[in-house]
Amino acid sequence: MDLVRTVIAVALTVTGTAGAPAPAGPETFLATATMATAGGVTATAPVTIVVARITPENEGQALVRAFMGGGEAALRQALSGHPPTGSVRIGNASPTTTRITLDRTTDKGRLLTIVTDQPIVFVGGGFPDAKPKEGYGFGVLDIEVDAEGNGSGTLSPAAKVKVAQGAFVVDEYASQALRLTGVRRER
């Protein structure tokens, strides 16, 4: 069964992006992605997250309206007119461009929700009994960092995004999201 987690409350997320304290200029975060299989095997990989820009509130609202009105196809069309927000790279793979980066203030510091408009990697997709990859066209990261840029998060490298009860919901391709530990802003 897929792990389904709520990522963004539509009514709160976009309006919550204004006023979130973001450092001037691009940021690079380093982390370790960890996945444990049902058989007890653990695998890790380094992750590099580059935030070149934060999605402005008006742009985020337009993207939400597009998605709510026409689903994934409308969101992809709306994204085509906006510059990338950065990139994410797992291990030595080529970086995947990020298209949405939301930055919100939390009691611990900041929560960054980062979305790619293509899958980063299909974890388990090469196994003979793997489920079909169709429809898993996004990657989603959530990292919460303190004022120094240290924290943790999750990475869904291949996901379906839909709306349920007024919130964006991520349906993982893998059996679970990858844990991001040791998140730190590169100085």
Which of 35, 52, 62, 134 lies closest to 88, judged by CA?
52
Give the C-alpha separation, 85 to 55, whole Å: 7
Q: At which residue do the structure tokens 């040791």 appear?
A: 182
Give the C-alpha separation, 182 to 152, whole Å: 6
Q: What is the pLDDT of residue 23?
A: 66
Q: How is the chain split into domains, by residue range?
A: 4-185
Q: Which of left, alpha, beta for 25 (phi over 0: left; psi -120 to 50: alpha)? A: left
C-alpha separations of 176 from 132, 165, 170 in Å: 16, 22, 11
Give the C-alpha separation, 77 to 128, whole Å: 34
Paired sense of beta strands 167-172 and 178-185, if any: unpaired
Q: What is the pLDDT of residue 48?
A: 97
Q: What is the pLDDT along the chain (187 residues), one digit of tens a residue?
A: 333 344 443 333 444 444 445 567 899 999 999 987 767 778 899 999 999 999 998 898 888 888 888 888 898 899 988 899 999 999 999 999 999 999 999 999 999 999 999 999 887 776 777 787 788 999 999 999 999 999 999 999 999 888 777 667 888 878 778 999 999 999 7
Specify the 3-state DSSP secondary structure of 59: helix
